[in-house]
Structure 1
């Protein structure tokens, strides 16, 4: 002890185990790595020493000794979507941790709204990758590309948006139908019995997360708030100028518009159109993802509520799932479950 503080116990090494068991280092290495060629009595003696000393295998060090590394590709959208920018930053932070595990990430930005571009990117991935995380488009060609990767032994994790009928290993993201139902309940409560119409603006109805959110939204709105009519969904392709034009046209032609549910991005365009119309305080607006822009709109009252998913949790979860697959280790379902957050301006972090 120094300064009245206890020093942490040194971690037991293979040499410590060999000394305690009275065997060679090579014998201990064979036992702890479950290789054959060691007598049962010797195995028992080594295992007793392991238990007594609390020895734990350092997987990263073992991979380093074997010269083993893993490489993963994260295929993310190109463009100015603020949430995806945040996700990219979180993937890059996760890459720093993953590098300590002898695993490395390359980030590829493509147009995920174009199935041919996305599928082509997956089809042309280098064979050096053992795992892929991708913002998936639920399209036949994209599903086929995922299936081809899986057939080659490449683990595929869908991130944020799923392709459930593909051979992907795992989906990392929120329960999107539940998110849509949550948005509808918030909308109905905020409207307080008013009668009129509500618009849904998606990025693309080819993205499963947007489609599922719209489904959940309509499910609750039609069954529990019959005084509110949901208009056909509009597609803004997560582009601010396109969503601005769509929203401006919507406000002009729909004088009974009571609310907007934005289940994708392009929120700067919606905010601009609402504020230019003078109806920003009259139209209830529920949006997705807490970004620097949506935070500002929420604080000043243009957005009424934000449904959020944590991009840091998603980046780390995708990396953990891919690494665990490569190491043939289990994952914890509770740890990898992505929760739905609801933010009002009163509970902003």
Structure 2
């Protein structure tokens, strides 16, 4: 049976009020008495249930999520998951605020992080852009003992507490392995469409993809990266021009968003059945393209899991509790048209 505060009080020969003061590090306890209580805690092996204590006190956790604005379907799905968490705020004892910033805008993101800092939250979750001003803003939050979790795209070297996202190098390697096997002996180059090289997840995916294509499918030409800013209109224009320049193109790896533009360009050129297309994130548009055969495979990360993970980690950090690594690992899903999950009503 787990020891209680009553057991501590009896062991130390003090009142419950004194035990409470020691446990909560409040003044008004003599040094000798504090030592007696601390010895009793060690002797009994008492471990405080911080979550239960916070629940008894009615403590809530003010959290800030900083998300990119725009047409990125995955990011809008991520935002929907945050808003779902806001609807659960009473049960989860959270008070969540969303700040929106333009996609890939490092100065705007740094300013939003400083705005979050002024709110003095328990923690901040942010879709990061790798830039010096953003790294510095995260460091300043950590200096103020505000926990920071990066979402989807990481910011190593910033001192952030945790990354809630997939292993993007592994995701890129998986895409490379699929691409090499799918196109087989077909001749032609492979193109890569990214959102922006300013974000770590896109760079990591590219690194993994190129590594596997070089290691296992040597001799296949990988064209220079096309940056479509995750904008479907721009992606359609850039891919359309690419298809005109490269009549023998064998494959396209879309490692960012803007896949509506990719699909439109392939179908407009009549190349949807002859070019292997591998993309990221299961959205209504990418699902339809997978079913029709315009996209051959999708790599997906669960936005709901990432948001729930970020909240768990931020609350744990606020309470000084350890993070359970296995629980917070975000897996990479691989979807073909044959194993798509049922659409939710």
Paired with 1:100 and 1:32, the residues of 2 have a C-alpha distance of 26
Structure 1 counterpart SS, 2:224: coil
The Cα shift of 1:112 comes to 3.3
State how 1:180-195 maps to structure 2 within 5 Å.
180-195=172-187
Which blocks of at least 5 consecutive residues in structure 1 are unaligned?
Answer: 1-12
The Cα shift of 1:61 comes to 2.3
The Cα shift of 1:341 comes to 0.9
Q: 1:41 to 1:175 in 2, by over 3 A?
A: closer
Deviates more, 1:163-172 or 1:257-266: 163-172
Residue matched to 1:3: none
Query: Which of 158, 162, 165 lines up with 1:170 in the alignment?
Result: 162
Q: 1:84 to 1:26 in 2, by over 3 A?
A: same
Query: Which of 290, 313, 319 lines up with 1:327 in the alignment?
Result: 319
Structure 2 counterpart SS, 1:257: coil
Residue matched to 1:91: 82
Query: Which of 52, 61, 74 lines up with 1:58 in the alignment?
Result: 52
1:113 aligns with 2:131: no
State how 1:196-211 maps to structure 2 within 5 Å.
196-211=188-203
Structure 2 counterpart SS, 1:58: helix
Query: Does the CA contact (< 8 Å) of 1:132 and 1:157 recur in 2?
Result: yes
The Cα shift of 1:31 comes to 7.6
Deviates more, 1:264-273 or 1:150-159: 150-159
Deviations 1:70-122, CA, capped at 9 Å, x for gaps: 21110001011111111111112223445434321101111131111111211
Residue matched to 1:80: 71
Residue matched to 2:115: 124
User: May I ask how many residue pairs the two structures share in their alignment?
Assistant: 334
1:155 aligns with 2:180: no
Structure 1 counterpart SS, 2:250: strand
Paired with 1:42 and 1:150, the residues of 2 have a C-alpha distance of 30
Deviates more, 1:277-286 or 1:125-134: 125-134
Residue matched to 1:308: 300
Query: Does the CA contact (< 8 Å) of 1:194 and 1:227 recur in 2?
Result: no
Deviates more, 1:264-273 or 1:31-40: 31-40
Residue matched to 1:102: 93
Q: TM-score, normalised by structure 1?
A: 0.85
1:71 aligns with 2:62: yes
Paired with 2:106 and 2:36, the residues of 1 have a C-alpha distance of 57
1:318 aligns with 2:306: no
Structure 2 counterpart SS, 1:290: coil
Q: 1:23 to 1:98 in 2, by over 3 A?
A: farther
Residue matched to 2:245: 253
Paired with 1:56 and 1:223, the residues of 2 have a C-alpha distance of 50
Q: TM-score, normalised by structure 2?
A: 0.86
The Cα shift of 1:154 comes to 1.5
Structure 1 counterpart SS, 2:96: strand
Paired with 1:42 and 1:305, the residues of 2 have a C-alpha distance of 58
Which blocks of at least 5 consecutive residues in structure 2 are unaligned?
Answer: none
Residue matched to 2:290: 298
The Cα shift of 1:124 comes to 2.7
Paired with 2:287 and 2:229, the residues of 1 have a C-alpha distance of 21
Paired with 2:308 and 2:203, the residues of 1 have a C-alpha distance of 25
* RMSD, aligned α-carbons: 3.1
The Cα shift of 1:234 comes to 0.4
Paired with 2:317 and 2:89, the residues of 1 have a C-alpha distance of 14
Query: Does the CA contact (< 8 Å) of 1:286 and 1:305 recur in 2?
Result: yes
